[in-house]
């Protein structure tokens, strides 16, 4: 850890527990053991608010992945995990949730330091969401069952179905919500009786490695949960072809997800893909403009815009367009840009210098293509990867800032006249992850909902997430679901059993 990061931790009074974790050598968790990369290499892990070096991590190799899959396979095929009764699995998941709750403040600090996000939001949303997800799925092991059937064919049969876990699940996790997205994939898989190999994002591996220590402390058998860090181009690609893996679940960009999906399907693996988005927001003329502006700003600027279902395209009914834009700009002015460990931070840094460069290039392209930058968009001088929230007006459908996922705090706006026009604008995208409607006219809201091509539709809010509700997209935003009972269907096989009776 360099002096810049040490001073940053001192300035904001980071806990001794977090410091101890960050200062020790980081290792992968494979088969219950803490191991270095098989080739002895390391990679640097940087802190986004200062740009300083936090620590180093081991870049996993395909040999490391082989070891992790072998450990997961052994547990699934004949280990202790497969023999546990449903109530025993439930108790273990609750024990893990208890440990997450005990260490919630420490995990929030690690997440803020590693990814740059607000430590306040990390505690309230990321870590609490992780705890809630494990508690929700802890209740499911005793409720997974098949059905009995009365066949109509001639003969005397006992016919029934069994629900059985798929096997070894490979979970490829993104960098924007490292721990929470990992929980989305891991909790359901464990509830169903699967074993898992997790590949966290190279940019944000630390909270997942701290989580693995809690998995060990919870008494979950060795090999049930394995963590292999490193590059997606090495580990993620190998997961898609590995013969010991039964399912790949991936959250990330659409181009990478397409390649993961093609490779996994060609190897006859089950696949869940939660990919990119360019989510539309419709603001109707009867909306409460002040509350809608606050919710819309939260829906695109939260986590510095690094959110897959962020409401980045806002279509405003023409009669309220100017008034709503004024409200939106006023809200944006209130959002505090600060280092992630600042308790009042709303806009933290981009996760990396490269991501800041990408976002800045889109802002430049928006201006160049003729959109009007009505607020923000500057890159402040000084340390860290910060970019001001940007709001564009007079945007047209062919502009790159309207068509492409930016993954930063950039909002584009346009007016519309009729609801038919609004629907056409909203659906004019290859993505279909989410959409939002702001209106107090329920007749119009319910008319619009089935017309929007999106996996989630939010009304008078954005990104409302609960473990009991499924999350996943349409079109180029992927297929399959995380969360909710629907997710369990993607983690189990259905076996048909026929018994001929005398």
- Per-residue burial over 338-367, b if 16 or more Cβ lie within 10 Å, else e, is bbbbbeebbbbbbbbeebbeebbebbeebe
Using the structure block, give the residue that is written with the tokens 């919870």: 218
Please give the radius of gyration of the chain, using alpha carbons only, rounded to the nearest integer. Answer: 24
Active site residue 274: yes
The neighbouring-strand residues paired with 57 are: 43
Give the distance from CA 441 to its chain's centroid.
32
Hey, what are 58's tokens?
Answer: 């081991």
Tokens of 49: 């608010």
Kindly name the residue from 308, 388, 395, 405 that is annotated as catalytic.
308
DSSP line for 86-104? HHHHHHHHHHHHHHHHHTH
Give the 3-state secondary structure of 429-460.
CCEECEEEEECCCHHHHHHHHHHCCCCEEEEC
CA–CA dist 319, 156 (Å, integer): 70
Task: Please tell me the distance from the alpha carbon of residue 117 to that of residue 348, in angstroms, as a whole number.
Answer: 5
CB contact at 8 A, 416 and 256: no
Task: Cite the DSSP H helix spans in 267-404.
Answer: 289-301, 321-334, 353-368, 400-403
SS3 261: helix
Helices (H), 206-253: 206-217, 237-241
SS (H, E, C) 113-176: HHHCCCHHHHHHHHHHHHHHHHHHHHCCHHHCCCCEECCCCCCCEEEEEEEEECCEEEEECCCC
CB–CB of 26/206 below 8 Å?
yes
Catalytic residue among 90, 202, 274, 327: 274
**In sequence order, what are the beta bridge partners of 148?**
160
- Gap between the Cα atoms of 401 and 382, Å rounded: 26
Closest CA to 280 of 155, 454, 408, 416: 454
User: Which among 187, 252, 196, 205 is positioned nearest to 224, based on CA atoms?
Assistant: 196
Distance from chain centroid for Cα 94: 22
CA atoms of 258 and 261, how far apart (whole Å): 5
Q: Please say if 194 is a catalytic residue.
A: no
Q: What angle do CA 162, 168, 171 make, to 5 degrees?
A: 120
Q: Which residues are catalytic?
A: 274, 308
């Amino acid at each position: 850890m360099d002096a810049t990061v040490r001073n940053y931790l001192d300035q904001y009074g980071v806990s001794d527990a977090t410091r101890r974790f960050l200062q020790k050598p980081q290792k992968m968790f494979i088969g219950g053991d803490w191991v270095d990369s098989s080739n002895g290499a390391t990679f640097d892990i940087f802190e986004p608010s200062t740009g300083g070096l936090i620590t180093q991590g081991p870049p996993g190799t395909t040999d490391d992945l082989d070891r992790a899959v072998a450990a997961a396979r052994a547990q699934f095929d004949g280990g202790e995990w497969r023999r546990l009764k449903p109530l025993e699995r439930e108790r273990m998941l609750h024990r893990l949730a208890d440990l997450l709750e005990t260490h919630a403040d420490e995990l929030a600090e690690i997440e803020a330091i590693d990814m740059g996000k607000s430590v306040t939001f990390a505690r309230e949303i990321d870590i609490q969401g992780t705890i809630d997800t494990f508690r929700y799925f802890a209740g499911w092991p005793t409720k997974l069952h098949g059905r009995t059937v009365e066949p109509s064919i001639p003969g005397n049969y006992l016919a029934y179905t069994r629900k059985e876990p798929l096997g070894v699940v490979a979970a490829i996790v993104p960098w924007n919500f490292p721990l929470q997205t990992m929980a989305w994939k891991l909790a359901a898989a464990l509830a169903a009786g699967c074993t898992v190999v997790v590949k966290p994002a190279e940019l944000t591996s630390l909270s997942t490695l701290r989580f693995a220590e809690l998995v060990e402390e919870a008494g979950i058998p060795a090999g049930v949960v394995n963590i292999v860090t490193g590059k997606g181009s090495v580990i993620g690609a190998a997961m898609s072809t590995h013969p010991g893996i039964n399912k790949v679940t991936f959250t990330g960009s659409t181009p990478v997800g397409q390649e993961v999906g093609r490779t996994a399907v060609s190897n006859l693996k089950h696949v869940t893909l939660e990919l990119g988005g360019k989510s539309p927001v419709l603001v109707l003329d009867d909306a409460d403009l002040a509350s809608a502006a606050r919710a819309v700003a939260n829906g695109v600027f939260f986590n510095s815009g690094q959110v897959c279902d962020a409401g980045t395209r806002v279509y405003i009914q023409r009669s309220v367009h100017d008034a709503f834009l004024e409200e939106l700009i006023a809200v944006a002015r209130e959002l505090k840009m600060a280092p992630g460990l600042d308790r009042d931070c709303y806009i933290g840094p981009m996760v990396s210098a490269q991501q800041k460069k990408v976002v800045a290039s889109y802002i430049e392209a928006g201006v160049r293509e003729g959109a009007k930058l009505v607020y923000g968009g500057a890159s402040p001088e000084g340390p860290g990867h910060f970019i001001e929230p940007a709001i564009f007006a007079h945007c047209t459908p062919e502009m790159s800032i309207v068509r492409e996922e930016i993954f930063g705090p950039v909002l584009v706006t346009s007016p519309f006249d009729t609801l038919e026009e609004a629907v056409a604008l909203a659906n004019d995208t290859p993505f279909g992850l989410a959409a939002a409607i702001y209106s107090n006219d329920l007749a119009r809201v319910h008319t619009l909902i089935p017309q929007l091509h999106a996996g989630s539709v939010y009304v008078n809010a954005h990104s409302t997430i609960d473990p009991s509700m499924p999350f996943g997209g349409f079109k180029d935003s992927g297929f399959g679901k995380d969360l909710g009972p629907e997710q369990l269907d993607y983690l189990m096989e259905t076996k048909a059993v026929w018994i001929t009776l005398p």
